[in-house]
Every structure is written in structure tokens, then in C-alpha cells.
Amino acid sequence: MDSESDPGSVALLAIKPRFADAIIAGRKTVEFRKTRFSQPPRYVVLYASTPVRQIVAYFKVAYIKELTPLGLWRKFRHVGAIEHDEFFDYYDNCSLGYAIVVATVWKLGKPARLGHLRPRGAAPQSFRYLNKSSIRRLSERR
């Protein structure tokens, strides 16, 4: 299944700093997830988790692919910036997974605290939808 997105939807993802760095550098052009979006996002905001704990970049979503973990590995292993064992440990006991394919990435010149977009919010375990104006606010920080 390939998912089309709402032209304005925005999702916040918490991601390990090494994966955020790899996306920004272009070494990782897909982000793997276990959870399906009810409304596929047009943009993804990257919150680098501990120890960084800041919003560091955002990207436009090319498309989202739903496959078995083995199917995801076969299709995206060369662009996922993750080792085989870590990938399959992540998808342990999952029958389906999702690959968010990265189009264009914008790195923030000044990383933002989570409160910049979610005043009382905590980092999401999986993802959280944001207001569509979030991208405009972040683009001012490029």
C-alpha cells in the first residue's frame, strides 16, 4: 500500500539522534515505523531524543510504503542506515511495517525545544499530529 497524504498534515516523530543526523546528511532516506498513520502526513518534524531533546529538522514525505518487515528490509535496507539485527529486533512480533520515504529535508539553523510547537507537550512515543502552521514556524528557524 502506498499512502497519499493530506497536503497540509504534519506529524512529529521522536527519533534517535544518530538517525536524525543520518536523515539530515542524506545517508538515511527512509524512516521505519511500526504504527500506521490514520492520516498520512505531508511533512514530518524530527525531534531528536535524548540526549539532544530538540527539534532538529523536518522533511517532506515522498510516500509511505506498507510491507512485511522482510519486504521493508529487502526494499529499503540500503537507504535505512540501520543494521540487520537492529532492524529485525525493532520489528519483532510485527506482521506489517511502514517506511516513510524522505523527499526534501530542511535542517534547522537553530534547533527548537519541543515547547516551540507543543507548549505543554511531551515527546511522542510513536508520533503526534501537529498544527499545519508548524512548518511555517519551523521554516523561520532555517
Contact 108, 141 (CB under 8 A): yes
CATH architecture of the domain 2-115 equals Roll (2.30)
> In the chain, what percentage of residues exceed pLDDT 70?
94
How far apart CA 6 and CA 41 sit, in angstroms, is: 6
Q: Which three cell numbers stand for residue 19?
A: 538517525
pLDDT of residue 115: 87
**Residue 135 or 120, more confident:** 135
Q: What is the pLDDT of residues 16-34, one digit of tens each?
A: 999 999 999 999 999 999 9
pLDDT band at 6 (very low <50, low <70, confident <90, very high): low
pTM of the model: 0.90
**Residue 116 or 69, more confident:** 69
- Angle, alpha carbons 93-94-96 (nearest 5°): 160
Alpha helices of 1-77 — where are they, by DSSP H? 17-25, 69-76
pLDDT of residue 16: 96
How far apart CA 94 and CA 112 sit, in angstroms, is: 33
Taking residue 132's Cβ as centre, other Cβ atoms within 10 Å add up to 14
**Residue 1 scores a pLDDT above 50:** no
* 38: β partners: none
Q: Which residue has cell 512515543?
A: 125
Domain-by-domain residue ranges, the chain?
2-115
pLDDT of residue 135: 86
Q: What is the pLDDT of residues 76-86, one digit of tens each?
A: 999 999 999 99
